[in-house]
Structure 1
Amino acid sequence: MTGHAYRTIDVPVNGGDLRVAVWDPTEAATADVLLVHGVTSSHLAWPFVVERLPGVRAVAPDLRGRGASNALEGPAGMRAHAEDLAATLDALGIESIVVVGHSMGAFVALAFAHLYPDRVERLVLVDGGLPLDVPAGLDADALVAGILGPTAARLSMRFDDPAEYRDFWRAHPAFREAWTAELERYIEYDLVPDGAGRLRPATSYETTAEDTVDMNTGPLLLHALAELRHPTHVLTAPRGLQDEEPGLYAPEHLERILASHPDIVHERVDDLNHYTIVMAPAGAEIVAKVVRDELATPASV
């Protein structure tokens, strides 16, 4: 990738090793950024954003239960992910950092800032992090189905080879106009053996359900938002996981949340969906500009 050299490291955490990608700038690094992916994603959601951050060292873990961290033992949940982020910074000798989270990664970023306030300078939350408008009292399966829909159903599917999985994604409405070589690498990286001679997505349904329930019904994120002390910039997309409107945050719901948190800076990004806001050039340029601006802002502000 132009401007960065890509490598991975394994960071010891509770239950095993966390796979962490590091993009070192080919020029002298002027800043660091921590990138946290979504609920069924991996660190390879971020290359479009990284290539638009010249001079910045980008650090992006595969969250436990995803990508090359899919075999980690022990529970998931927002607290476990936050502890893994702290271990990642320790392994790289980073005291504090700007944290960018997409989708569930935005909720993880918020939890991390709450539990480890001295490790976080500023937050950029991309189409996530703020409470979702979901009915109370749903069981785990109903909650996952209501939020993720076909994204959760994909986790139980099996594929004969990477080509079949690529074909599945080519028909996905979110990427019909945004197919790239980077996306193909992201898709192929997601596959792991299912133990019966076929391939499956790396993220298990059980892990997805555990995290989805925690981020929507657990107390940690409510406390984190109520006690938010870090400068926070939120970006939202008008279309959702299936390129549908209104996306994760209906305007009326979002307006109510933001009215309760006037210090949060919000920006609605037009003409993009939940995926393409980070995994396509147009969205990545917008996200990267916000990140560059946040990196250029003194930590004390």
Structure 2
Amino acid sequence: MTSTQTRIGHTYRTLDVPVAGGDLRVAVWDPAPAKAAAPDVLLIHGVTSSHLAWPFVVDRLPGVRAVAPDLRGRGASNDVSGPAGMRAHAEDLAAALDALGIARTVVVGHSMGAFVAVVFAHLYPERVSRLVLVDGGLPLDVPAGLDTDALVAGILGPTAARLSMRFADVQEYLDFWRGHPAFRGDWTPELEDYLAYDLVDDGAGALRPATSYRTTADDTRDMNTGTGLTDALAGLRHPVRLVTVPRGLQDEEPGLYAPEHLARVLAATPSVRHERLDRFNHYTIVMSPGGADVVAAAVREELAAAPTP
């Protein structure tokens, strides 16, 4: 375990939690000064992301203990072996909560993390009080019958292509991202930390993104064609708040949820409370000061509404 003071209002530490296939890296931001009975929130990142997607949001949650794993196959959990998929991630999250002695918590998921959150709430209903889904968690509009590669390319595009690239050093990787349309006007030191953390040694003298294409493909296929999500949505029993944005991974419109498709999936899940925010894209809704303001405000409201342990 490591521990270091980072940002005002929280002390950051990490621990490695044994799960099937290896050790899951879990980050914890404890309130500073310490609180005897701080509320908890579990933060779940996206398909090629890591726990360092969340510092902007955590900064806006004073007095809250925030827990964020690197999902298996990502970040410092990139060497956890065995299959991925929504159930595997849910089982890992339960192990992380057990290790921290957290019985029940508000769960927040971004992108693929929102799909994981829905399945986790279905498989472990007693561990979840309320759900906040950020631009994910309800079915995407994908054609039936696509093979896995076409499915990944259609949803993730250049995000998936990046996983096969190699970089000489961290600076080259940062320069690659500087031209990304999603972060035009939203480049920050926190983003640089997030990107640098993504890199691991490829074993041949270069650096590569920690997330493998195979892991990404397994998860993308499962969340779009598996039964875990449909079963979870059919059995939805927790209060759910969904935040969507009109711009996608390349800052393009209409984003992951086109208005017509979004209307259909919301009609099929009428218990979900929905907010559409016009100013952000799929990344900046979490990884920018303005987006984090909105997400953190929603999280604080859900924490206030959650039952007291």
1:188-203 → structure 2 map (5 Å cutoff): 188-203=196-211
CA contact (8 A) 1:232 1:265 kept: yes
- Distance of 2:188 and 2:173 partners within structure 1: 15
Equivalent position of 1:128 in the other structure: 136
CA contact (8 A) 2:41 2:66 kept: yes
Decide which of 171, 178, 181 is 1:173's aligned counterpart.
Answer: 181
Deviations 1:153-174 (A, max 9, x none): 0000000000000001100000
Equivalent position of 2:4 in the other structure: none
- Distance of 1:298 and 1:208 partners within structure 2: 33
Amino acid at match of 1:246: P
Equivalent position of 1:74 in the other structure: 82
- Distance of 2:211 and 2:307 partners within structure 1: 35
- Distance of 1:108 and 1:174 partners within structure 2: 24
- Distance of 1:211 and 1:25 partners within structure 2: 33
| Stretch moving more, 259-268 or 120-129 | 259-268
Pair 187,298 (structure 1): closer, same or farther in 2 beyond 3 Å? closer
1:262 Cα shift?
A: 1.4
Deviations 1:104-144 (A, max 9, x none): 00000001000000000000000000000000000000000
Amino acid at match of 1:182: E
Decide which of 111, 127, 138 is 1:119's aligned counterpart.
Answer: 127
CA contact (8 A) 1:25 1:56 kept: yes
Equivalent position of 1:159 in the other structure: 167
Decide which of 20, 26, 46 is 1:20's aligned counterpart.
Answer: 26
1:30 Cα shift?
A: 2.6
| Stretch moving more, 203-212 or 24-33 | 24-33
CA contact (8 A) 2:130 2:306 kept: no
Q: Secondary structure at the match of 1:296?
A: helix
Q: Deviating runs (4+, > 6 A) in structure 1? A: none
Q: Secondary structure at the match of 1:79?
A: helix
1:220-299 → structure 2 map (5 Å cutoff): 220-299=228-307
1:281 Cα shift?
A: 0.4
- Distance of 2:69 and 2:306 partners within structure 1: 25
Equivalent position of 1:11 in the other structure: 17
Decide which of 141, 145, 155 is 1:147's aligned counterpart.
Answer: 155
- Distance of 2:277 and 2:128 partners within structure 1: 25
- Provide TM-score, normalisation by structure 1: 0.99
- Distance of 1:5 and 1:12 partners within structure 2: 23
Equivalent position of 2:3 in the other structure: none
- Distance of 1:30 and 1:78 partners within structure 2: 28
Deviations 1:12-64 (A, max 9, x none): 00011000000001031530000000000000000000000000000000000
- Distance of 1:204 and 1:246 partners within structure 2: 27
- Distance of 1:260 and 1:222 partners within structure 2: 11
CA contact (8 A) 1:239 1:247 kept: yes
1:299 Cα shift?
A: 2.8
- Distance of 1:104 and 1:249 partners within structure 2: 13
Q: Secondary structure at the match of 2:305?
A: coil
Deviations 1:60-93 (A, max 9, x none): 0000000000000111000000000000000000
Runs of 5+ unmatched residues, structure 2: 1-6
Equivalent position of 2:38 in the other structure: 30
Equivalent position of 1:92 in the other structure: 100
CA contact (8 A) 1:156 1:200 kept: yes
1:260 Cα shift?
A: 1.6
Pair 298,70 (structure 1): closer, same or farther in 2 beyond 3 Å? closer
Are 1:208 and 2:216 an aligned pair? yes
Equivalent position of 1:63 in the other structure: 71
Amino acid at match of 1:24: D
Amino acid at match of 1:218: G
CA contact (8 A) 1:122 1:299 kept: no
